[in-house]
């Protein structure tokens, strides 16, 4: 049996905002620290807006991630131009960090296909709702890069529950057998909706699951954006150099529900305990403390940043809400490159009944 000490949690800045891994002192430049904080705050404000929009009925079900900013932003920041990202439906922090526009993420939750389309030239895959199946797509896409002889890599996101799925194991196995440049990035939140990790697996860590595939793996404090960033960078570098895949377990903690339709009070700690825990765990608070203690930024900087980000998010909301009406052709025209006669016939019949107009 392996216990947690077999895969110690890598940490650079702790909950109090103190640098605990001195060797990184020179790597934490003021610019890096500020950029990471900025990206995390952007994601957090976006996320809160997403929940509000759902409550107001302006978008459909929303999937929040508050508390997971360090895991998502740290990992996504490690990617380079041309790499591939395969997110889950929860990884808006990661996708926006890698270039997805905020209004498109809102459009996804407004039930628009446009929300699955990445910006031109960006390899961001649309969120996948089936659990763990995207690990194989990432493996295949990364395998293709290897076959082309490029030094591009892929990163794929998944939660703790996903590691119970067959596709997790098939993805790890294929990547390992064919030495594919892919990074498996797990956000271990401790819960798959209501089922706690202890019920999901007997393994004490997710990182140890890589042992079966003779794959590199690491367990990282998923609330420490710097630890996540540097470990992911290392894993991507290993992939680029042809040294195979890595499994990263980012141990994190999401404050909110699985989705806006879920009621976590039935299976999770009460609010008071959450508040106490949050003081220590919060990924933004610790960077804020670090920045203030080291004189990197003052209150004015934080206030200005929050104001600018709030404006950016409001703009994204208005872009989403003023987006052109949904085009009924999108229902029919992208099933095949050329619609089959059945689809074409169904389309014409429907449009004729509608009076040939989109409403």
Partner 1 sequence: MTTTVKTKKLSLVQAVTDGLRTMLAEHEDVVLLGQDIGKNGGVFRATEGLFEQFGEDRVIDTPLAESGMIGTSIGLAMNGFRPVVEMQFFGFIYPGFNQLVTHATRIRARTLGRYHVPMVIRAPYGAGVRAPEIHSDSMEALFTHVPGLKVVVPSNPYDAKGLLIAAIEDPDPVLFLEPMKVYRAGRAEVPETKYTVEIGKAEKLSEGEDVTVLAWGAMVPTMKKAAKNAEKALGISCDVIDVRTLYPLDKETISESVQKTGRVVIVHEAHETGGVSGEIASLINDTSFLYLRSPIARVTGFDTPVPVFSLENDYLPNEQKIERAIEKVVRF
Catalytic positions, written as ranges:
254, 258, 267
Binding status of residue 177 toward partner 1 by CB under 8 A: yes
Told to check if 301 binds partner 1 by CB under 8 A, we report no
Tell me if 280 contacts partner 1 by CB under 8 A: no
Question: Which CB atom, from 265 or from 340, has the smaller least distance to partner 1?
Answer: 340
Residue 330 as a binder of partner 1 (CB under 8 A): the answer is: yes
The residue to which tokens 């993805």 are assigned: 171
- Axis crossing angle, helix 271-281 with helix 283-293, rounded to the nearest 10: 40
Residue 341 binds partner 1 (CB under 8 A): yes
Q: Whole-angstrom Cα distance, residue 11 to residue 26?
A: 16
Q: How many helices (H) and strands (E) does the chain have?
A: 13, 9
The contacts of residue 359 (CB under 8 Å, 6+ apart) are none
Write out the two tokens for 112. 């628009």
| CA dihedral angle for residue 69, residue 70, residue 75, residue 81, rounded to 10 degrees | 60
- In whole angstroms, the minimum distance from the beta carbon of 283 to partner 1 comes to 30
- The SS3 call for residue 24 is helix
- Cα–Cα nearest to 97, from 133, 129, 68, 55: 68
Binding of residue 125 to partner 1 (CB under 8 A): yes
Choices 52-60, 69-77, 137-145, 271-279; region in contact with partner 1 by CB under 8 A: 137-145
Q: Contacting partner 1 (CB under 8 A), which of 46, 109, 143, 185?
A: 143
Which residue, 170 or 306, has its beta carbon nearer to partner 1?
A: 170
Can you read off the two tokens belonging to residue 169?
């194991």
Check binding of 350 to partner 1 (CB under 8 A).
Answer: no
> Cβ 109 to partner 1, closest distance in Å?
14
Does residue 272 belong to the site contacting partner 1 (CB under 8 A)?
no
Note whether 128 binds partner 1 by CB under 8 A: yes
Determine the size of the site formed for partner 1 (CB under 8 A): 41
Query: Does 2 participate in binding partner 1 (rule CB under 8 A)?
Result: no
Yes or no: say if 46 and 92 are a contact pair by the CB < 8 Å rule: yes
Token pair in block for residue 291: 């920045």
Q: How distant, in Å, are the alpha carbons of 188, 227, 283 from that of 13? A: 19, 8, 10
Q: One symbol per residue from 65 to 94: x for binding partner 1 (CB under 8 A), - otherwise; what is it?
A: -------------------x----------
Residue 106 binds partner 1 (CB under 8 A): no
Which range touches partner 1 (CB under 8 A), out of 19-27, 144-152, 275-283, 347-355? Answer: 144-152
Q: Using CA atoms, how far apart are residues 246 and 216, in angstroms rounded to an integer?
A: 5
d(CA 46, CA 51): 9
Task: Please say which residue, 166 or 295, places its beta carbon nearer to partner 1.
Answer: 166
Buried (b) or exposed (e) across 118-138, using 16+ Cβ within 10 A?
Answer: beeebbbbbbbeebbbbbbbb
Q: Write the CA distances from 196 to 57, 63, 248, 269, integer angstroms.
A: 30, 19, 20, 12
Q: Which is nearer to partner 1, 9 or 239 (CB)?
A: 239
Cα–Cα distance between 155 and 2 in angstroms, integer? 26
Asked if 137 interacts with partner 1 (CB under 8 A), we say: yes
In this chain, which of 2, 199, 334, 354 binds partner 1, going by CB under 8 A? 334
Instruction: Write down the least CB distance from residue 141 to partner 1, Å.
Output: 4
Token digits for 267? Answer: 């299976």
215 in contact with partner 1 (CB under 8 A): no
Residue 16 within binding range of partner 1, rule CB under 8 A: no
- The single residue among 32, 34, 58, 116 that binds partner 1, judged by CB under 8 A, is 116
Contacts to partner 1 by CB under 8 A: 84, 113-114, 116-118, 125-126, 128-130, 133, 135-145, 147-148, 166-167, 170-171, 173-174, 177, 330, 333-337, 340-342
């Amino acid at each position: 049996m392996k216990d947690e000490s077999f895969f110690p949690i890598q940490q650079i800045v702790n909950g109090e905002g103190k640098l605990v891994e001195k060797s990184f002192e020179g790597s934490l430049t003021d610019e890096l620290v500020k950029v990471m904080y900025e990206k995390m705050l952007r994601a957090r404000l976006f996320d809160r807006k997403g929940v509000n929009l759902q409550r107001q009925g302006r978008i459909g079900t929303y999937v929040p991630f508050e508390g997971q900013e360090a895991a998502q932003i740290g990992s996504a920041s490690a990617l380079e131009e041309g790499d591939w990202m395969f997110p889950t439906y929860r990884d808006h922090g990661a996708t926006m960090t890698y270039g997805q526009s905020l209004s498109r993420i809102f459009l996804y939750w407004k039930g628009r296909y446009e929300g699955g389309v990445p910006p031109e030239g960006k390899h961001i895959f649309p969120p996948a709702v089936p659990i763990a199946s995207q690990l194989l797509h990432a493996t295949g896409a990364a395998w293709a890069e290897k076959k082309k002889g490029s030094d591009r890599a892929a990163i794929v996101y998944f939660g703790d529950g996903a590691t119970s799925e067959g596709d997790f194991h098939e993805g790890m196995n294929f990547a390992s057998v064919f030495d594919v440049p892919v990074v498996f990035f797990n956000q271990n939140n401790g819960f798959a909706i209501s089922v706690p990790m202890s019920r999901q697996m007997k393994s004490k860590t997710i990182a140890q699951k890589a042992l079966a595939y003779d794959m590199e793996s690491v367990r990282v404090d998923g609330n420490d954006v710097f630890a996540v960033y540097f470990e992911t960078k290392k894993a991507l570098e290993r992939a680029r150099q042809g040294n195979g895949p890595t499994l990263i377990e980012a141990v994190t903690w999401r404050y909110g529900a699985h989705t806006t339709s879920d009621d976590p009070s039935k299976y999770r700690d009460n609010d008071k305990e959450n508040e106490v825990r949050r003081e220590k765990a919060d990924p933004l608070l610790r960077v804020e403390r670090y920045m203030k203690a080291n004189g990197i930024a003052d209150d004015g900087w934080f206030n200005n940043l929050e104001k600018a980000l709030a404006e950016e998010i409001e703009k994204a909301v208005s872009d989403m809400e003023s987006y052109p009406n949904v085009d009924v052709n999108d229902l029919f025209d992208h099933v095949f490159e050329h619609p089959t006669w059945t689809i074409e016939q169904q389309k014409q019949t429907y449009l004729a009944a509608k009076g040939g107009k989109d409403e």
